Every structure is written in structure tokens, then in C-alpha cells.
A and B are shown apart, each in its own frame.
Chain A
């Protein structure tokens, strides 16, 4: 695993832990519901980051093997969003449940859940008002997309990023094989504005 990335991530985790510690010490003195909610959300993100980091580590040490199951993408996405914690509740999250979504698809639900959580976390940082998550098939592949209405790529980030999320999405996509095809991810500007995350699984 890339040493520079590791250092960046650990540094980031330490900072997040610091913020949580600050919130908790404040809460010890004076109970405050909004702050408690924020601390809880912070804790969940910290845990997600740690799981992401460990998954990346596992991928670099022993490789990741996707456990392919037949899953309804609609059920999967609904479950993913229902269980999602956000520190920006003002951002609306919508599933585009147009007819393009297949009834059943084949992927590792746990791993793809980790990847999409990370991608949603990124999108949440930049979105202005909303994020749309969708799933369709294209050229015999299953495609998940996450479209935010933020400023798009190549803009000056006001919040620093470690690149953990995209690195995680990459290894998880690549752990999905079918015959001689492999999964892939991309992050581009959407024609209608905002960033478009795409994960294509064979």
C-alpha cells in the first residue's frame, strides 16, 4: 500500500478523532442534542473511514475477492440509503428508480456497499442541494452512478481530501470479475453540471 496515502489517511483519521474528542468533551460539560447528533455522525464516518482503510490494506496485502450474489439493485440501494448517516441532512438523496434499473444483478453486496458509501460521502461534501443515485445496465455491465449538484471537478476544494474514497472504489470495482472483464470506476463532470461518479461492474 502506498506509504504516502497511508500517512495521509492516518493523519486524516487522527484529525477526525480530534474533532470527535472535542465534541465529546464539550458534551460532557453540557448536554446538547444537535452536537450529540453531530458527534454520532462523526463517529460513524470515522468508523467508515477505518473500515475503508482496512479494506484497502487487505486489498494490497492479500487481494480482495468479491463474493458474487444475485441481488435486486433497488433493494440494495434502498437499504444503503436507509442505513446512511449524514452530517448534512439538508442534502436530499434520491434513487432514480426509472425502468432502466434491472430487477436483479450480480455483485458483492458488502463490498459495493462500502464503495458506494465512500462515493456518497464524497458527493455529500460537494453537493449544493441534492444527490441522485442510479443503476442501469450498459454493454452487458451493471452501472451505478452518483450525481451531485456541486461545482464539479477541477474546482478548488475548500475541504481537503485524502483520496481514500476513490482508491477504495477502485480496488472494489477491480475485485469484480466476469470471464475476462473487470470492474472500473470514473469521476467526471456531468453535462448538466456537478460531478458524476460511475462504477461499472462486469
Chain B
């Protein structure tokens, strides 16, 4: 093999992950021949993770078969789902000839390329070169996306496609998904159709059309498409996720659970177990939830990929199943592994309080609740706040429970999952009678602010309306209902009074926040659409 020296490659930092020393040395040698001299090695997923967290690698060459607990795909899943890999890092999955097809077809997180053994320096160099070319070609789009400039990113697509036609499919994929995020469902649909005209069996584009239907409010059409996709391609994980979203929005919790269970059958990963566990818990199927979180824990036990939330969820389920001793055992075991993680101690104490109460040890229950409260910090609209409320009710501190729950709901009163969980907490703790006064009243309070602001707007009092919403945003900065109302207020005002650049900036700020708080939401997509229509209207009139 001739030595290929390339200055572009020489700058790259690489890590080789393989449990066999001879393979690591071999790949390291091949990379060295390409001029890549900075090559670290890791024999286990945990060693790899430590290095990846500490350094920045451009090239990761990872064998699929690592050890009994974690394979290369699971490591990649963890790195991608936790956002650990920088966007320019190139992840290569090395598979054996015999397993290449099965590994590649059932992968939720795709590596940048699969490399089939035996590896040769020439092949690695070819793949790296191609990926670098692609990164460079697409950079006008990806750089804008990194800056959250979605409209600008879409605007770059045509020029990039013209200059680099060989990356057309990647460009169309970026363009369509960005259009979807912008709520431009019809424009996104056109791009998906353009892609499918090139190649009709690209499942991601077929699924994209279903997403367009979902965001355009055509749930039945979206469901029909997803079902059709899964009949033909039962391995396509993203389709199960869309099906789960559609059924959840339709209030069909059992169907959501079924969809996620099927996705677990395709990819039995810790992440999939977690999704099944959460859905099962929401439907009240505690046995299924217990099995799912036990699985998630056993998938990751003793590994750096273990997550504190799995142990907390399992302990909570044990409490709900009246298995208080097991709950405390799970919490004790988790203590060693997760004691330094943020939020763990507060969650631990809140669940322990419930377990002690189940064991009639009210003194310990109250002490644990007090410690949970002290550790919890500012309450947000999340599951932890409601777990803390549950601990309060269990420890006999109903006043505190009501206060915490009411605050959590007011923080995001239109959050369907949160509200459903709050009702469940009150039912579980024998406080069904409080649902009206706590949950419904908290919701009404939030709704009243939105109503009053809307009325002020109708009366032409923009400033008063905005003041009302801003006051609410100060108190509850993650309240999606208030954020949507604030965006709408500015847009309505502009459509009557004309363009105001500072308002556009504000609306973009609200929408960026909403993107994180409620991803894939039809309501947010609608607001993006309203923004665009307003901008078109006011520019035309100006």
C-alpha cells in the first residue's frame, strides 16, 4: 500500500475503539499511513466515552462488537442522543461482512459511514475525503442552521445544490426538515415529492410527507401513511415515533404504548426501553413500566451510559405498586453510581419520602420530603415538581402538596402530559376531591391571563396586553400557552399596524424557546406559518 499523505487528513484527530488490541493497532497503522498521527485508542466503551468527553475528535473508528454490555451502535446512540459529538465529527462503524446488513438496517442513529472488515487505509481515506467534501459543500447551509437561522439556511439550499449537485439528496433532506420546522408544510411537501420523484423508495421522504400531514392538522392522513410505511419497512424506527406522537395527540395512550413496544422489538436499546417505560407509566400499566425500566437499567448497568432517571423511575413505579422496600433498595443501589449528578438527590429524596410513608414510617417520610424540598430549588413545570408534590401528599403535608402542584401547573398550564400526570398524582394519593380546586383552577388562572390579554388586544390596547403577558412570562418563563399568546399578539398587531423589526425579533425569540419546549408541535408550526404570512403581508403593503 502506497503511503497516501494528505495535509487535510494530517490535521485530523482520531480515536480507534475496538476490544482487540491487534485490530486497534492495525487501524492505527492504517491511519498513520494516511498521515493521521494523532490517534488515541480505547478498548472499552467506557474508556472511549471518557476520552471523547475530554477531547475533541474529528474521526471516530468504532468496531460494532465491543463487549457483552455495549456494542458500537449503543455507544453511538448515547453519544448522539446526549449531544456529545460535535457536528463535524465523523463516526465510522466497523462491522463484519456477515452482520453488515442487519446492523445497518436496524439503527436508530446512523453513523457517517459503515465500513466492512477488513479495513484498508485506502478505503478509510476515501470515506474521510468524501465526508470532508460534503461538510465543506453543505457548510453554507449547516452554518446558518447552527446559528438557528432557519430561513437563511433554506435560502442557501438552491445555490449549494447548483454548485454541488452530487449532494442533492442530502441538501433536499436538510431543506425539507428545516421547512417543516418553520411550519412551511406545503413547501416541505414539495421538496419531499421532488426527492421521491428521484427515488420512490426513500423512506425518510415518505415519512416526511406524513409529517407534513401531521403538522398541517391532517392526523388521519398522517396515520394512514405511517401505517403503510411500517407495513413495508417494519425496521424504520422513526415511523414508530411518529405513530406514537399521532396516537398520543389523539388520546390513544394504549396505541402509543403499542407503537413504542414494537420499536423496542426492532431495537432493544436502553433508550427504547425508557420510551416504553414512560408510555406504560402514563397509561397506568405499571407492570409493563417496571419491566421496561428494569431493562433500561440492566442494559446500562456498570457503564457510564447509565442514567440516574432510570433508577428514579423504577423506584417510583415500585412505590406505586406498593413495593416500598424494593423502591428503597433501587434508590440505595443508584446512590453509589449517581450521587454526584444534578437533580438526583432531590428526586431520590422525593421518592424515598413516598416509600417511607408506604411503610408507615411517617417521621422518615417527612424528613425525606423536607430534604427533597430543600434540594429542589426553583420549581418548574416538570415531572420532578409533581413527584415532589406527591411526596408532600404522602408525608401528610397536603398544603405543601397543593402549593407545589399548583405552581407546577401554572408554570405551563396548557401542557397536556403535565396536567394528566397531576390528576394522576391526586388520584394515587387519595385526593381525587382536590382535582377541581387544584388542577382545574390552576389551568383557569393561566387561561384567564391569555383571555384578558386577547381582549385587551381586541380593544386596541397593545401595550396593556403585552404588559399582561410579560408579567406572566416573568413569573412562568416556560409557559408555552403564554409564549404562543405573546407571539400571536405581536403578529396580529403587525398585520394591522405594519412591520416592526423589534417585534419580529421578539417573535423569533418566543418561537425558538417554543421549539425546545414543545418539539414537533402543530401549534408551533402554525405560529411559524403565521409569522411568515404576516411578514409577506406587511412587506407587500409597505
Contact = CB atoms under 8 A, between A and B. Distances in A.
A47 B126 contact: no
Interface stretch (A10-18, A62-70, A145-153): A62-70
A138 to B, nearest CB: 16
B169 interface: yes
**Candidate in B122, B167, B200 with the most chain A CB atoms within 10 angstroms:** B122
B237 to A, nearest CB: 15
Contacts of A177: 201
Interface in A105-127: 106, 110
A7 interface: no
Interface size class of A (residues with CB under 8 A): 20 to 34
A83 B104 contact: no
A179 interface: yes
B199 interface: yes
Contact of B126 (A58, A79, A106): A79
Interface of B: 97-98, 100-101, 104-105, 114, 116, 118, 120, 122-123, 125-127, 130, 165-170, 198-202
B166 A178 contact: no
11 contacts: A67-B101, A67-B104, A70-B169, A75-B126, A75-B130, A75-B166, A79-B127, A82-B126, A83-B122, A104-B167, A104-B169
A13 B123 CA distance: 25
B199 A178 contact: yes
Given A75-B130, A79-B126, A67 B105 contact: yes
B200 A179 contact: yes
Contacts of A70: 168-170, 199
Interface string A77-94: 011001100000000000
A19 interface: no
Given A51-B97, A82-B122, 16 more contacts: A54-B97, A54-B98, A58-B98, A70-B168, A70-B169, A70-B199, A74-B166, A75-B166, A79-B123, A79-B127, A82-B126, A83-B120, A83-B123, A83-B126, A110-B114, A178-B200
Contact of A104 (B105, B118, B126, B165): B165
Contacts of A79: 122-123, 126-127, 130
Contacts of B118: 47
A8 interface: no
Given A70-B170, A74-B166, A110-B116, A65 B101 contact: yes
B97 A55 contact: yes
A65 B105 contact: yes
B120 to A, nearest CB: 6
A103 interface: yes
Interface in A143-202: 177-179
B534 to A, nearest CB: 37
Contacts of B126: 75, 78-79, 82-83
A55 B432 CA distance: 63
Contacts of B130: 75, 79
A72 interface: yes
Nearest to B4: A82
A70 B202 CA distance: 10
Contacts of A75: 126, 130, 166
A103 B123 contact: no
Contact of A68 (B116, B125, B201): B201
A58 B116 CA distance: 15
A98 to B, nearest CB: 16
A68 B204 CA distance: 12
Contacts of A54: 97-98
B114 to A, nearest CB: 7
A70 B171 CA distance: 11
A64 B118 CA distance: 20
Contacts of B201: 68, 177-179
Nearest to B169: A70
B500 to A, nearest CB: 43
A64 B201 CA distance: 17
Query: What are the 10 tightest A-B residue pairs by CB atom distance, in nearest-first order?
Result: A70-B169, A83-B122, A79-B126, A72-B166, A103-B165, A103-B166, A106-B199, A83-B123, A104-B166, A82-B122
Contacts of B125: 82
Nearest to B100: A110
